[in-house]
Amino acid sequence: MVPSSEGAPLSPYGVGTQVAPPPRTPVVEGTQVAPPPRPPFGAGTQVAPPPGNSQRVPRPSTEPPSIEAPSRTLVGRYHILDKLGSGGMGVVYNAYDPDLHRRVAIKLLHPSANTVVRADGATRLLREAQAMARLSHPNVVSVYDAGTFAGRVFIAMELVDGVSLRHWLRATDHSWRDVLDLFRQAGKGLAAAHAAGLVHRDFKPANVLVSRDGRAQVTDFGLARNSADQEAAEEGRPTAPSQLALRREDLLESPLTEAGLVMGTPAYMPPEQHEDGRTDARGDQFSFCASLYEALYGQLPFEGKAASVYLRESLAGNVRPPPRGSRVPAWLLRAISRGLAPTPDARYPSMEALLAELSKDPSVIWRRRGIMAAGVLVLYGAIGVAWWVGNRRHAPCLEAGARLTGIWDASRRDALNKAFSATHKPQAPELLSRVTQSLDAFARDWTRMHLEACEATRVHGHQSDAVLSLRMACLERRRSTLDAVVGVLAQTDEASFATALDAAQRLPSIDDCANVDALRLGLPESSEQRQRVERLRAGLDRTTALVDAGRYEQANTELQALLVQSRSLGYRPVLAEALELEGRLGLVLGDEARAQKALREALLLAQATRHDEVAARAAARWVTTLSRSPELEEWGVAQARASIERAGSAPELEALLHTSLARNAFFRGQYAEAAEAFGRSAALREQAHGPEHLLTLESLRNQASALSRTDETERTSKLLHRVLDLTKVVMGPDHPQTALAANAVGYHLTLRRRFDEALPYLRQAITLEERAMGPDSATLSYPLNNLATALESLGRFAEARPLRERALALDLKTHGATHPETAADWALLAQLALSEGRTRDAVELARSSVNAYEAFQKNHPDQAAPLTTLGLAQLALGRTREARATLERALSLRATMPGLGEDLAATRFALARALGAAESSRARSLAQQALGFYEATPDLWTAEARRVRDWMSTGPVSRP
């Protein structure tokens, strides 16, 4: 599986003086220092993914959900997707929580469940649900939320992928040990609820869910009581006894719900609950034992087809004898029978005591005693035999760590150490330590999961051999991935040194090997084809490691061969994986057409074969190639959100989509929206990977860069310093990424016009990046331009010009002549030429910038900067009419897509000078608006404010 990754950091570009373009940002996918791709323009800015394929958020309905079409309804904030089932108390829906981006189960109670007797029934049920929400236990279905909808109570609960215990029991024959194990788990859930002061009152197999991994979880605690019975029970008053005439099946399925009657399911209710509705934790114990008896023996514990007869037998304590041929041991029947005693005092004092009794398997005890006796008789030899007997079930699972020998062991550590030392980088020891920590953590997780998967089948018996095979195949894939990454890291040299930690931290999640549904895609049935698929996936693992390590040329060569082999094989899931990686590499290399074609095909193949995670990654990345058509982009976003939801809404997948949306918004000039989307990406990645992870840091840096183009100066400053501090922790003080973070701080200091303070940050950034990436690094243009901005603002034009020219040469080589990065370089050189008095050069350079922006996107908002410079140059050459037209267009762009306040003020003052006496009233108004901005922060703009005041004092005239 290709690890989900997106984007390089955003390194803000400088602004220089008041007519400079706003900062730029390369938002690319792949590694932190990859050349940015040609960015598509235009993007949607919606960042909260609704469920399914809909782009529209449905209005809340005032009617109860339609069972026929639940997907059109909101219950509270939850989007109803489809119906899961219904029962006596209500209907259960599959729903989506847009706030926490997760699937939930919504139980919408029937009106009779909370309004049958008293008006405050809903309030009491809500209180019960709120009490449950405070209980967290692995054997209890979690309650997340509760509320009312159309006068009915709803409860939002954990969505369990599995079946009810009743269905599990009916599905196939199970040994009594398997049945007892699941009931013990459910009993632990009941015991936890009792400890929290909660009583279930309707425990039965239908109210226990069994997940696909064999975990039992109790649900519907306390939600089956009507308000009259609850109030009576709490005040110690009796309620009317149950006297309904029920059919045989009603004993098992139908709760008693009529007014004045106690709640529960008759077959499992303790006698005291039948009589007056009062019951406590010992009543749950009775229901538990009645359910366990039925599960073990295939019959109810008491005789009687009618409810009244059944109740009479339970009051007498006449537990039925087991059916003939039962293999359930007698000790277990004795333990259950005590729990079925007619009076609470005769039962066990607690669920814990009952569970302890159910754990006293005499055969296990005697086996242990036999082993001890053999040890005494045969001494050391017999001790060895006893050890083997006691551990023979665990032995197959004790070799997990040995499986990593030759993959990640002392010899491979030594190979990495030699490679890092050979780079002669001063930060090599520290970076090697960080890489080793990541690989160690992955190896620990792999060993843990291998042991867990093995024991689930070989020791505990919770998991079938088929599922074990699926999980082991996944773990072998992860083992192959680790082998590939370590192999790539063992070849680390000066060129790839800076990206070594990327490769280590982008290893795929081990936890995916517990997702049985996803693993059921499996491998081809043919043994020969299966081996070819495994070899192909091993090759894809290596190629992914090369991409993560920034070795794009080598990765590209190997990937093309793998694509040919994948198409020849004809196994569509692995072809989808190869194409998704092809699309990712296309984005990294700036080949948008290649990326779009590969990602579209990957998405369609993955959807056809239900390869959900690959489909989600392909769709999220595909969004970045669709922004030239708003309709197509909107459809692509809907596809991505639907695919991500189908894949389980993993935080990293959602972060990938938010990064794509932010990238598009950034290049469209919607910087506030871009900052918001990058912020969402950062929060999701922190949730998935932790705060000190490269992907989290990457999104935070992107957010800071986008935010730096807004007027939120204080927020930007705090975020940039956080990024710098975090980068030093994650990457080390001398890493190139620390250089990028220092560059961002230096750029921000230029915004605050603290130019002398910015110089050391910017020079450090250049030095570190040159040392790590060489003098032709694709991202070196950012600190070069930022340093030039600071020097120009200090009047040191001669020092600034070679820096600007070098930045232009780098961006032309990387992006070509029609890219916003290159356009911004020309704009900055035009401004410098104007400052130096080279007016005609300024005109030509500014026009080159405008043309480049226009070729990339019509009316690109960043054209306002070179247009302002061009207008001032035309005015200086006496071409007043041209200057007015140029500056009017610049002002229109500034007003339509507002950015930094100083840029708008500069354009206003420039147009005021061009208008002069021809439109003196408007000229004065524009100048006054500019002056208002400068005077609002006089400590920053003293010189600019004085210049405007001087011009206004002489009166508007047609001269610069």
> Could you tell me which of 647, 483, 689 has the C-alpha nearest to residue 51?
647
- The SS3 of residue 259 is coil
- 95 and 232 assigned to the same domain: no
> Could you tell me which of 949, 959, 865 has the C-alpha nearest to residue 906?
865
Average pLDDT estimate for 330-341: 94
What sign has the CA pseudo-torsion 40, 46, 51, 56?
negative
Pairing of strands 216-218, 143-149: unpaired
Task: Report the pLDDT value the prediction gives residue 137, as an integer from 0 to 100.
Answer: 84
pLDDT at 245 over 50: no
Task: Report the pLDDT value the prediction gives residue 95, as an integer from 0 to 100.
Answer: 85
β partners of residue 148: 153
pLDDT at 402 over 50: yes
Mean pLDDT of the chain: 78
| Catalytic annotation, pick one of 97, 202, 483, 541 | 202
User: Does a structural domain hold residue 734?
Assistant: no
> Could you tell me which of 878, 883, 892 has the C-alpha nearest to residue 910?
883
CA 565/CA 575 separation, integer angstroms: 9
- 254 and 230 assigned to the same domain: yes
Residues 6+ apart with CB under 8 A from 171: 163
Triad 928, 932, 933: Cα angle to 5°: 125
Neighbours of 466 (CB within 10 A): 11
Residues 6+ apart with CB under 8 A from 409: none
Triad 182, 187, 193: Cα angle to 5°: 135
> What's the CATH number where 148 sits?
3.30.200.20
Provide the pLDDT confidence category of residue 398 given band limits of 50, 70 and 90.
low
Instruction: Tell me the C-alpha to C-alpha distance, in Å, between residue 952 and each of 425, 562, 670.
Output: 58, 69, 34
Provide the pLDDT confidence category of residue 49 given band limits of 50, 70 and 90.
very low
856 versus 528: the higher-pLDDT residue is 856
User: Does a structural domain hold residue 83?
Assistant: yes
User: Does a structural domain hold residue 183?
Assistant: yes
CA 777/CA 922 separation, integer angstroms: 47
CA 608/CA 346 separation, integer angstroms: 60
Give yes or no for a contact between 280 and 203, defined as CB atoms under 8 angstroms apart.
no
Tell me if 188 is assigned to a ligand binding site.
no
Provide the pLDDT confidence category of residue 259 given band limits of 50, 70 and 90.
very low
Give yes or no for a contact between 643 and 619, defined as CB atoms under 8 angstroms apart.
yes
527 versus 254: the higher-pLDDT residue is 527
CA 480 to chain centre: 25
**Which range among 3-12, 151-160, 334-343 has the greatest average pLDDT?**
334-343
One-letter amino acid of 79: H
29 versus 831: the higher-pLDDT residue is 831
Neighbours of 318 (CB within 10 A): 15
pLDDT at 537 over 80: yes
pLDDT at 429 over 70: yes
What sign has the CA pseudo-torsion 270, 271, 276, 279?
negative
End-to-end Cα spacing for the chain:
63
Strand order in the sheet with 78-86: 74-75, 78-86, 90-97, 102-109, 152-158, 143-149
> What's the CATH number where 338 sits?
1.10.510.10
Q: For residue 144, what is the enclosing H or E element?
A: strand 143-149
Query: Among the listed ranges 261-265, 672-676, 799-803, 844-848, which one has the minimum average pLDDT value?
Result: 261-265
Query: Among the listed ranges 8-17, 620-629, 861-870, which one has the minimum average pLDDT value?
Result: 8-17
User: Does a structural domain hold residue 61?
Assistant: no
- 169 and 139 assigned to the same domain: no
Instruction: Tell me the C-alpha to C-alpha distance, in Å, between residue 88 and each of 143, 255, 745.
Output: 19, 6, 63
Count of structural domains, the chain: 3
- 271 and 258 assigned to the same domain: yes
Provide the pLDDT confidence category of residue 396 given band limits of 50, 70 and 90.
low
Range of the domain at 88: 70-158
Q: What is the DSSP letter of 14?
A: P
pLDDT tens profile 264-289:
678 898 988 877 667 888 999 999 99
Provide the pLDDT confidence category of residue 850 given band limits of 50, 70 and 90.
very high
- 182 and 230 assigned to the same domain: yes
pLDDT at 838 over 90: yes
The encoded tokens of residue 943 equal 């010189």
Query: Among the listed ranges 282-286, 605-609, 666-670, which one has the minimum average pLDDT value?
Result: 666-670
Count Cα atoms within 13 angstroms, Cβ side, for 569. 26
Give yes or no for a contact between 725 and 700, defined as CB atoms under 8 angstroms apart.
no
- Among residues 342, 362, 382, the one where a domain terminates is 362
Triad 635, 637, 639: Cα angle to 5°: 70
Query: What percentage of the chain exceeds 90 in pLDDT?
Result: 33
Burial class (CB in 10 A: 0-12, 13-18, 19+), 528: exposed
Provide the pLDDT confidence category of residue 899 given band limits of 50, 70 and 90.
low
CA 313/CA 342 separation, integer angstroms: 9
User: Helix axis angle, 552-569 relative to 572-588, nearest 10°?
Assistant: 160
886 versus 366: the higher-pLDDT residue is 886
Residues 6+ apart with CB under 8 A from 310: 251, 266, 267, 300, 302, 303, 304
pLDDT at 912 over 60: yes
Average pLDDT estimate for 2-6: 32
Task: Report the pLDDT value the prediction gives residue 499, as an integer from 0 to 100.
Answer: 79
pLDDT at 875 over 90: yes
Average pLDDT estimate for 834-862: 92
**Which range among 217-221, 259-263, 947-951 has the greatest average pLDDT?**
947-951
CA 119 to chain centre: 42
- The SS3 of residue 362 is helix
- 125 and 190 assigned to the same domain: no
- 113 and 256 assigned to the same domain: no
Task: Report the pLDDT value the prediction gives residue 737, as an integer from 0 to 100.
Answer: 79
**Which range among 65-69, 647-651, 887-891 has the greatest average pLDDT?**
887-891
CA 395/CA 451 separation, integer angstroms: 11
Task: Report the pLDDT value the prediction gives residue 153, as an integer from 0 to 100.
Answer: 83
Instruction: State the pTM of this model.
Output: 0.48
CA 235 to chain centre: 48
Provide the pLDDT confidence category of residue 712 given band limits of 50, 70 and 90.
confident
- Residue-by-residue DSSP string for 8-69: PPP-PPP--STTSPPP-----SSSTTPPPPPPP-------SPPSTT--SPPPPPSSPPPSSS
Task: Report the pLDDT value the prediction gives residue 797, as an integer from 0 to 100.
Answer: 95
Give yes or no for a contact between 290 and 349, defined as CB atoms under 8 angstroms apart.
no
- 897 and 754 assigned to the same domain: yes
pLDDT at 185 over 80: yes
- The SS3 of residue 629 is coil
Task: Report the pLDDT value the prediction gives residue 89, as an integer from 0 to 100.
Answer: 67
pLDDT at 68 over 80: no
User: Does a structural domain hold residue 232?
Assistant: yes
Provide the pLDDT confidence category of residue 72 given band limits of 50, 70 and 90.
very low
Q: For residue 117, what is the enclosing H or E element?
A: none
Note the residue count of the chain: 960
Provide the pLDDT confidence category of residue 521 given band limits of 50, 70 and 90.
low
One-letter amino acid of 631: E
39 versus 172: the higher-pLDDT residue is 172
User: Does a structural domain hold residue 324?
Assistant: yes
Task: Report the pLDDT value the prediction gives residue 733, as an integer from 0 to 100.
Answer: 76
398 versus 657: the higher-pLDDT residue is 657
Average pLDDT estimate for 782-788: 94
Q: For residue 156, what is the enclosing H or E element?
A: strand 152-158
pLDDT at 343 over 60: yes
- Among residues 158, 177, 207, the one where a domain terminates is 158
Task: Report the pLDDT value the prediction gives residue 617, as an integer from 0 to 100.
Answer: 93
Task: Report the pLDDT value the prediction gives residue 258, as an integer from 0 to 100.
Answer: 34
pLDDT at 759 over 90: yes
Query: What percentage of the chain exceeds 70 in pLDDT?
Result: 78
> What's the CATH number where 783 sits?
1.25.40.10
202 assigned to active site: yes
- 167 and 140 assigned to the same domain: no
Average pLDDT estimate for 903-921: 90
- 760 and 880 assigned to the same domain: yes
Task: Report the pLDDT value the prediction gives residue 739, as an integer from 0 to 100.
Answer: 84
957 versus 269: the higher-pLDDT residue is 269
Task: Report the pLDDT value the prediction gives residue 836, as an integer from 0 to 100.
Answer: 94
Give yes or no for a contact between 580 and 618, defined as CB atoms under 8 angstroms apart.
yes
CA 240/CA 261 separation, integer angstroms: 6
Neighbours of 392 (CB within 10 A): 9
Count Cα atoms within 13 angstroms, Cβ side, for 226. 26
CA 477/CA 753 separation, integer angstroms: 53
CA 141/CA 873 separation, integer angstroms: 71
Query: Among the listed ranges 148-157, 183-192, 350-359, 886-895, which one has the minimum average pLDDT value?
Result: 148-157
Query: Among the listed ranges 70-84, 142-156, 439-453, 651-665, which one has the minimum average pLDDT value?
Result: 70-84
Provide the pLDDT confidence category of residue 618 given band limits of 50, 70 and 90.
very high
Burial class (CB in 10 A: 0-12, 13-18, 19+), 305: exposed
- Among residues 311, 329, 362, the one where a domain terminates is 362
- 279 and 135 assigned to the same domain: no
- 91 and 173 assigned to the same domain: no
User: Does a structural domain hold residue 231?
Assistant: yes
Task: Report the pLDDT value the prediction gives residue 239, as an integer from 0 to 100.
Answer: 41
pLDDT at 773 over 60: yes
Task: Report the pLDDT value the prediction gives residue 188, as an integer from 0 to 100.
Answer: 94
The encoded tokens of residue 595 equal 């990326």
Query: Among the listed ranges 214-228, 323-337, 351-365, 430-444, which one has the minimum average pLDDT value?
Result: 214-228
Provide the pLDDT confidence category of residue 655 given band limits of 50, 70 and 90.
very high
Average pLDDT estimate for 231-239: 44
User: Does a structural domain hold residue 717?
Assistant: no
Provide the pLDDT confidence category of residue 97 given band limits of 50, 70 and 90.
confident
64 versus 653: the higher-pLDDT residue is 653
CA 450 to chain centre: 24
Average pLDDT estimate for 489-498: 83
Q: What is the DSSP letter of 28?
A: -
pLDDT at 179 over 90: yes
